[in-house]
Homo-oligomer: A and B are copies of this chain.
Amino acid sequence: MFIEVYPTAQSVKDLNGKTAIVIDVLRATSVITTALHNGAERVIPVPSVEDAFRLARDLKGNSLLGGERRALKIPGFDLGNSPLEYKKELVEGKTVILTTSNGTKAIKASESAEHILIGCFLNASAAAGKALQTLSSETTGVAVLCAGTLGEFSLDDAACAGLIVDILVRNIKRINEIPELSDLAFACRDLYLEHRHDLKTFISHAAHYKRLLDLGLEKDIDYCLQQDVLDCVPVYEKKNMAVKIY
């Protein structure tokens, strides 16, 4: 089975027949996974701030506006892009309308895929497991899609992609199939395996990490780097343009 990794939303090609796992560790896919785990009914990713306000108006209440630009909360929005804000008492039963700089764009970029799953460190094993469940005779492999940061490769996403590739490889070998890795999938797995015992130090070299640290968001980083603490796997349904847990 072929496993590939894309470094940025902008680099994604045709994902026809593939299962995509979209990753934006810091922080969009960590936010989506947390919000749905805490009972949000659905998350609707939208590309622009204008789209977000328009949709909130159309939905007439019961929705929350969340997201960021330049890592900061958007004026007039209910929530920023910190997963710690998406608490049960706030999000339960609600529709979250989310617009972020990288993650929501990556979800849109994956729309040619057969299945679109949302992954992060928080749910890495669950996401990899669900990806394998979606595979059938019609699907040709798994594409792990890193959101990156403003069109650039990002170490945090690469490390998480490496972890997910590693879990996929181990599970595929267990059923006596042969995993085949793209060059970037091999490199990300290699980086993950080398640094798995101190991922925070490795990821501290990321430009985006430094930006979040400068903004005083270390608690967000520590939360997002926790591995396998949530077992839900958000799924993006193209028909409804929404992310839900099914």
Q: Is A184 an interface residue (CB 8 A)?
A: yes
Complex interface: stretch among A61-69, A150-158, A166-174: A150-158
Q: Is A74 an interface residue (CB 8 A)?
A: no
Min Cβ gap A101→B in Å is 15
Query: Does A153 contact B183, Cβ atoms closer than 8 Å?
Result: yes
- Name the one of B149, B158, B183 contacting A206, with C-beta atoms under 8 angstroms: B183
List residues of chain B with CB within 8 A of the CB of A191.
Answer: 187, 190-191
A158 CA to B190 CA, complexed, in Å? 13
A187 CA to B205 CA, complexed, in Å? 9
Q: Is A80 an interface residue (CB 8 A)?
A: no
**CB-CB contacts below 8 Å: A167-199 with B:** 181-184, 186-187, 190-191, 194
A187 CA to B190 CA, complexed, in Å? 10
* Contacts A205-B181, A207-B182; A153 near B7 (Cβ below 8 A): yes
Q: Is A11 an interface residue (CB 8 A)?
A: yes
Query: Does B205 contact A153, Cβ atoms closer than 8 Å?
Result: no
A149 CA to B184 CA, complexed, in Å? 12
List residues of chain B with CB within 8 A of the CB of A152.
Answer: 182-184
